Structure formats: C-alpha cells, structure tokens
C-alpha cells in the first residue's frame, strides 16, 4: 500500500519465456501473458532459483498490465493476475504485498522504459543537431512507444487515476519529470537561440499536462495506433510556447 516500493525489472526478461507468451498483437509487449500456456515446471528443474524468480516477476508485471487494460483497475484481483501469469499465489506474494504493489511496479517499469526511449532518441542525434530536430525526435519516440504498447498506454493514461492516491502521486511525478526534460531542452536551445523567450516553470508543467490530455483523448477512444500522427501538433505546441513561433499552417 502506501509503503510499496518500485522494483526495476529487465524489459525483455528471459527470452525463452518471452517467446512462449500468448501473441497479444494489439496489446504490446508489456501486456503479453502466459494465458493458455503451461507454467514453469514444478519441483526440481534445471533452472536456477534466480531465473525462476525473475521469470515469475516478469509474468506478473505483464499480466497486471493486461488485466487492468482489459477490465480496469478496480475490477482486477490477485487471482486474475496469477491466472494470466500462470504462477501461484505464493509466488505472487513472494514478490508483491498486494495488487497495488504489483500494479505500481508494472507501471513504474513501463514509465522508465518510456522515458528511456525518449532520451535515447534525443541522445542518438549529433551534439550539433538543431533544437527543433531534437524535439521532433523525442516527441516521435514518445508517441511511437505508446503506439507500440497500447495496453500500457491505456493503463498509464487512463487507469492510473483510478488506482488510488499513490498511483496518482506516481503519475504526477512522471508529469514533473517530463516537464523537467522540457525545461532542460529549452534552456540548452536558448544558448543557440537567445531570441527564444524565457518562460516560468509552470509553462513546462502546462505543456506536459496538455500533451497528456491530447494523448489520453486518443487512447480512451481506442485509437492508440494513430498517436504518431500527433507529432506535428506536439512539436508545434512546444515551439509556440517555448520559441514564440507562430503555429505552422
């Protein structure tokens, strides 16, 4: 509950298990489950305990994303999660205190992966790349990640706000993190573009909020695959506020 801690889990997990998960197609890799597949062998097997534990954790994190995306956070139970993951309740409680703990760990991992995708896209550019190109690449990576992970997109942008005060707190922290990334980008850009306006700190948070509402409006209607088409809108919005640039026709 309130004392739940975030856990860091490798994105790809163990390839041998990842290849055997259900083909979820439209749900994305973060929501792949083992429904209809066997669990790990009981009793003695050749897998080291650490590998078994890591596999269980990966299964549980993916299963809670899939379950919440399908029926919403309030309706999901621990029984639903372990059934999708094909692990025991004892294995679940060996990793997590309760449903909230599992949910926060899964959404926290997805959030870190999303931020990493954005940072990687920006840092892959040459140091002398124009500020607008950096913004466009980062925005494109953000939207592409969500389009690739529609179940996570729904869980993070729609269901997080129904999952209790700690989930809302984590979501707000993510907003502040993206606002801070915008601030850092803008401050670096202004060293090359002194004509760009200085803005108050609230402006960066306002842009993060506007971006979130735009994304949420698309995700809520089940059109997550169209998110990359919002790149021009997001870039134009940021340049209008942070560069004083008229909106592109």
Q: State the 10-residue block means of pLDDT for the chain, 249 residues long.
A: 37 31 55 57 57 85 95 96 93 95 96 94 95 97 96 96 96 96 96 96 96 96 96 97 88
Closest CA to 17 of 41, 30, 34: 34
SS3 208: helix
Residue 53: what pLDDT? 78
Q: What whole-number distance in Å separates Cα of residue 239 and Cα of residue 246?
A: 8
* Fold of the domain spanning 111-242: Tetracycline Repressor; domain 2 (1.10.357)
User: Please, where in the chain does CATH 1.10.357 lie?
Assistant: 111-242
Residue 231: what pLDDT? 97
Residue 11: what pLDDT? 32
* 14 class by beta-carbon count within 10 Å (0-12 exposed, 13-18 middle, 19+ buried): middle
Residue 17: what pLDDT? 27
Residue 27: what pLDDT? 66
């Amino acid at each position: 509950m309130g004392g739940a801690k975030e856990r860091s889990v490798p994105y790809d997990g163990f390839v041998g298990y990842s290849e055997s998960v259900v083909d979820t197609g439209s749900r994305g890799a973060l929501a792949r489950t083992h429904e209809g597949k066997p669990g790990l062998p009981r009793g003695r097997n050749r897998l080291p305990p650490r590998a078994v534990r890591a596999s269980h954790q990966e299964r549980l994190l993916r299963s809670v994303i899939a379950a919440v995306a399908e029926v919403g956070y309030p309706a999901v139970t621990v029984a639903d999660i372990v059934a999708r993951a094909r692990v025991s309740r004892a294995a679940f409680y060996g990793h997590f205190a309760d449903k909230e703990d599992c949910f926060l760990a899964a959404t926290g991992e997805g959030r870190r992966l999303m931020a990493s995708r954005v940072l990687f896209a920006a840092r892959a550019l040459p140091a002398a790349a124009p500020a607008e190109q950096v913004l466009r690449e980062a925005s494109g990576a953000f939207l592409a990640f969500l389009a690739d992970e529609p179940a996570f997109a729904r869980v993070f942008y729609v269901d997080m706000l129904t999952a209790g005060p700690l989930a809302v707190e984590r979501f707000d922290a993510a907003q502040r993190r993206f606002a801070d990334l915008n601030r850092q980008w803008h401050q670096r850009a202004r060293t090359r573009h002194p004509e760009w306006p200085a803005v108050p700190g609230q402006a960066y948070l306002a842009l993060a909020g506007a971006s979130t509402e735009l994304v949420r409006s698309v995700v809520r209607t089940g059109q997550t695959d169209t998110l990359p088409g919002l790149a021009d809108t997001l870039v134009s919005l940021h340049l209008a506020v942070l560069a004083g640039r008229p909106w592109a026709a």
